[in-house]
């Protein structure tokens, strides 16, 4: 039981670190692709282990739903990059889906941290931390992704 939690934590740390590296570095490079693979595989491992953890509620619950949504964001971001489809739009789809994947990961980490505050009401802290990160992350995605994509758009410097 605790082994799954430890593996889950290791995947979370790997995903947070590799995702941050990707966010901060130039896009489209060989390094971006290599670290992106680490991120995607870490996220898959993180979410698979999340689906195996039932200590909190004893049953399938909201965190399992979040893990499934997270897996969808990874698939939504990885498939266009692997297939290079749709033509002329795969980079945008990849960038937005992967950005939301990372924001979701940060929201989960913030929720986990917030619930560790002594005397904090668990579900209210999860809700508050998640909403704050999703709103802030959505704003950053809205402003940052178009800037990051400029070098990939012909005729737009």
Percent of the chain with pLDDT over 90: 91
Question: Looking at residues 129-149, what average pLDDT do you find?
Answer: 97
CA distances from 54 to 60, 71, 94, 134 (A): 7, 18, 32, 25
Interatomic CA distance for residues 80 and 130, integer angstroms = 27
Interatomic CA distance for residues 115 and 126, integer angstroms = 7
The whole-number pLDDT of residue 157 equals 44
Q: What is the pTM assigned to this prediction?
A: 0.93
Question: Looking at residues 84-95, what average pLDDT do you find?
Answer: 94
The whole-number pLDDT of residue 1 equals 56
Mean of the per-residue pLDDT values of the chain:
95
First to last CA, the chain: 52
The whole-number pLDDT of residue 155 equals 59
Asked if residue 86 has a cis previous peptide bond (ω within 30° of 0), the answer is yes
Token reading at 53: 């953890």
């Amino acid at each position: 039981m605790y082994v799954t939690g430890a593996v889950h934590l290791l995947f979370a740390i790997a995903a947070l670190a590799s995702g941050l590296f990707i966010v901060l570095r130039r896009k489209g490079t060989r390094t971006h692709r290599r670290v992106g693979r680490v991120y995607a595989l870490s996220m898959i491992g993180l979410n698979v282990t999340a689906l195996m953890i039932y200590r909190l509620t004893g049953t399938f619950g909201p965190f399992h739903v979040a893990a499934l949504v997270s897996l969808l964001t990874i698939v939504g971001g990885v498939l266009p990059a692997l297939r290079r489809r749709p033509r002329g739009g795969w980079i945008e789809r990849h960038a937005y889906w992967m950005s939301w994947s990372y924001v979701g990961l940060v929201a989960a980490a913030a929720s986990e941290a917030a619930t560790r505050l002594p005397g904090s009401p668990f579900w209210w802290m999860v809700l508050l931390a998640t909403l704050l990160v999703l709103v802030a992350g959505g704003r950053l995605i809205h402003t940052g992704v178009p800037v990051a994509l400029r070098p990939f758009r012909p005729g737009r410097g």
